[in-house]
Amino acid sequence: MKKKQVFEGIIEKVEFPNKGRVYVSEEDCYVTVKNGIPGQKVRFVINKFKNRKAEGRLLEVIEPSPLETRKPVCSLFPACGGCMYQTMSYEAQLKMKAQQMKEIIDGALFPGREYEFEGIKASPKEFAYRNKMEFSFGDEYKDGPLSLGLHKKGSTYDVLTASDCKLVHSDMTEILQCVLEYFTELNAPYYKKMQHTGYLRHLLLRRGDATGEILVNLVTTTQEIYDLQPLVERLLELNLKGKIVGILHILNDSLSDVVQSDETKVLYGQDYFYEKLLNLEFKITPFSFFQPNSGGAEVLYSIVREYIGDIRNMTVFDLFSGTGTIGQILAPVAKQVIGVEIIEEAVEAARENASRNGLTNCRFIAGDVFKVLDEIEEKPDVIVLDPPRDGIHPKALPKILDYGVERIVYISCKATSLARDLEMIQGRGYEVVKCVAVDQFCETVHVETVCLLSKVNPSK
């Protein structure tokens, strides 16, 4: 097998997060091919081969999979990188994701360990579930007209206009279309990542599923100046089902392609919106973490509440706490909750949320978990972990485990990171009691996992 060779084969299975496995009989070798669906017959080109491990790039789908039982609901599928599994039934998606999660957890367990795998919980809504979407400005092909949407699969440059994206509420696509038309009329240039020139970077939209409140965030460089007041007026004239409560202009001259703020200007209204979860209200700012699927978050947090068990008269540490959603959901039945989060504006929102929800036994601290744990005098009885996608920093995890609490609930949005952390967690005397997957990200490759970890009885 050599690079640039072209083969055909059937995707036997797809491993998390998006790795199709194709057996090439003439080479007696499996090739990893991304962006496919189990059962598809595909043509692919080898782009990497070393030590009998091969990776290929999908060229075309020759025959659809038997699992593809429905038509796509979006005009950009399958080219758009936002969705992967629209042509599969939702039941088939759930079955595949559950199997992927179980295989990862099974593979991470120490020999002889057993646990209860509780399958996967569906999202209450399969489509229009996202309360946050980050759209990029660009073009669909080199020197093409301005586009605003999501990147093509496998591309870091080509951007497809997501005017009928079905992952978000129609209010968001209405706003996207309005913004795109405005800057197309002005012939405004988008920011080119390689040359570091241009004006338009991102459109970050956030919409409360329960409240209908919308926060519009336009992200640009400072390289050019445009009058944005006519855009504000156009946006406010849109006939939306929800209500725009804030329009922000975020200035970002960073060389890297990340959404961040050097300076934020409020063009209209306020710089936050409210969302409701499990009878609590949460104030959310542009960059504070909040689960992107509100209905799915209610399912997720209900499981966390169940897994953590009886916490009366107990101190709970909510680490990587974001806007404090988990801590506040647990606070009514705990002695106290202490949350730690590195993003300061999220912590400020968490404090305000706790006050707004009448919770006096919550404390939220801004800072790096690794450093903050040295400064907290209280000791936890139970710990909830909800780290970023890459998991817990290897320097912070030992400090967390040093507390020796009886129960830890670990929430992971990337199961391979969880599997890596489980090696140290088990080595420090914990076992996986039970685990469940929660589909927060329908049609995509991502899935949330919740693990209940318990201190091993020394008599075992």
What 3 state SS string does 97-126 have?
A: HHHHHHHHHHHHCCCCCCCEEEEEECCCCC
Q: What is the DSSP secondary-structure string of 207-228?
A: E-TTT-EEEEEEEE-SSS----
Tokens of 350: 């968490």
- Cis-peptide into 17, omega within 30 deg: yes
Q: Which of 58, 136, 177, 116 has its CA nearest to residue 451?
A: 116
**The pLDDT value given to residue 111:** 94
**The pLDDT value given to residue 90:** 98
Tokens of 112: 């002889």
Q: Which of 391, 410, 394, 418 has its CA nearest to residue 101?
A: 418
**The pLDDT value given to residue 458:** 63
Are 63 and 37 a contacting pair, CB within 8 Å?
no
Q: Which residue ranges in the chain fall short of pLDDT 50?
A: none
**The pLDDT value given to residue 1:** 86
- Is residue 80 part of the annotated active site? The answer reads no
Let me know if 404 is exposed, middle or buried by CB neighbors in 10 A (0-12, 13-18, 19+).
exposed
Tokens of 39: 């059962």
d(CA 430, CA 113) in angstroms, rounded, equals 11
**The pLDDT value given to residue 402:** 96
d(CA 74, CA 97) in angstroms, rounded, equals 22
The model scores a pTM over 0.85: yes
Are 365 and 340 a contacting pair, CB within 8 Å?
yes
Instruction: Tally the residues of the chain.
Output: 460
Candidates 74, 362, 413, 442; catalytic one: 413
**The pLDDT value given to residue 459:** 56
**The pLDDT value given to residue 304:** 97
- Cis-peptide into 78, omega within 30 deg: yes
Distances from the Cα of 139 to the Cαs of 136, 221, 392, in angstroms? 10, 17, 37
Are 452 and 409 a contacting pair, CB within 8 Å?
yes
Phi–psi pair at 91, nearest 5 degrees = -60, -40
Phi–psi pair at 354, nearest 5 degrees = -60, -45
